């Protein structure tokens, strides 16, 4: 398969590269693997929050005994003593969920967030193959980006382009994507009705480089070929730019995604 490879000036030339973009796309497997590998940051209140007050739930209710709660019109909930004058005590309810400073009634548990799902190795490999193939599929790209125009994927650049200065590199990106260049940079969008801080960020361009290559640029996501995951490619059809070195590694004999036939 001959693929367009872009050089330093943004001009394309067809070259023979590894055929990693022609695998059959299994969207169902990709979704399954994505849900399995999804990690949610666990959160929960402090274990003893609202329980550290010296509050007894066994206040005496007998008559004419010291420290009794008889005749005070108090409900039988744990209480802490705020002050004492002789045999007279002033209590305030504590610990239970219905009072000020008490514990939460049904707090989130850390165990709820622990993902114990597993996925077969062949399914994970098939998902990555499908994700890579979807970045070269006009159908999936247009499905993800409704307003995209005249797309010609896949997008591959010579590794030498990474040696350019950042501003020159961005000029090459604009030359490659042309009318669709507004899609390649991350953008914060105001969410209607969500207040001052209600914003969401677009994904922007994903750039896959070789494991020994180094490159930094703001506004786009950069990932090494040996660290590529389905989370980087989901939903399928993400605008993705590969270096020639990354394509070789993804198709190489030592690639962790390609070696099972």
108-126 per-position pLDDT tens digit: 988 888 877 888 988 988 9
> Other CB atoms closer than 10 Å to residue 243's CB: what's the count?
23
Residue that has been written with the tokens 């006009």 in this structure: 138
Angle between helix 121-134 and 27-37 (nearest 10): 120
Residues ≥6 apart with Cβ < 8 Å to 10: 171, 172, 174, 175, 176
pLDDT digits (tens, 9 = 90+) for 189-229: 888 887 777 888 788 889 998 888 888 888 888 899 888 89
What residues in the chain have per-residue pLDDT under 70?
1, 57, 253-261
For the chain, residues classed under CATH 3.40.1370.10 are: 2-39+117-251
What pLDDT is recorded for position 28?
A: 92
Token representation of residue 98: 């219905």
User: Can you give the pLDDT at residue 31?
Assistant: 92
| Residue range 2-39+117-251, CATH number | 3.40.1370.10
Could you give the count of Cα atoms lying within 13 Å of 84 in the half-sphere of its Cβ? Answer: 7
User: What predicted TM-score, i.e. pTM, was given to this entire model?
Assistant: 0.72
- pLDDT in the model for residue 41: 86
First to last CA, the chain: 19
């Amino acid at each position: 398969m001959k693929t367009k490879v872009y050089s330093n000036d943004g001009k394309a030339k067809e070259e023979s590269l590894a055929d990693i973009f022609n695998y059959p796309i299994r969207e169902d497997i990709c979704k399954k693997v994505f849900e399995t590998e999804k990690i949610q940051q666990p959160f929960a209140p402090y274990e003893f929050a609202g329980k550290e007050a010296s509050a007894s739930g066994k206040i005496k209710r007998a008559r004419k005994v010291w420290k009794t709660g008889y005749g005070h019109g108090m409900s039988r909930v744990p209480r802490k003593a705020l002050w004492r004058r002789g045999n007279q005590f002033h209590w305030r309810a504590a610990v239970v969920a219905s009072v000020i400073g008490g514990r939460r009634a049904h707090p989130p548990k850390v165990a709820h967030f622990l993902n114990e799902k597993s996925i077969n190795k062949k399914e994970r490999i098939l998902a990555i193959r499908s994700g890579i193939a979807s970045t070269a599929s006009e159908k999936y790209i247009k499905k993800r980006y409704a307003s995209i125009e005249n797309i010609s994927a896949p997008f591959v650049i010579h590794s030498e382009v990474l040696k350019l200065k950042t501003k020159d590199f961005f000029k090459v990106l604009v030359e490659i994507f042309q009318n669709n260049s507004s899609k390649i940079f991350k953008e914060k969008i105001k969410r209607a009705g969500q207040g001052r801080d209600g914003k969401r960020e677009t994904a922007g361009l994903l750039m896959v480089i070789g494991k020994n290559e180094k490159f930094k640029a703001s506004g786009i996501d950069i990932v090494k070929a040996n660290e590529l995951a389905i989370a980087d490619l989901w939903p399928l059809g993400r605008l993705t730019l590969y270096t020639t070195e990354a394509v070789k590694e993804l198709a190489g004999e030592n690639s962790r995604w390609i070696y099972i036939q």
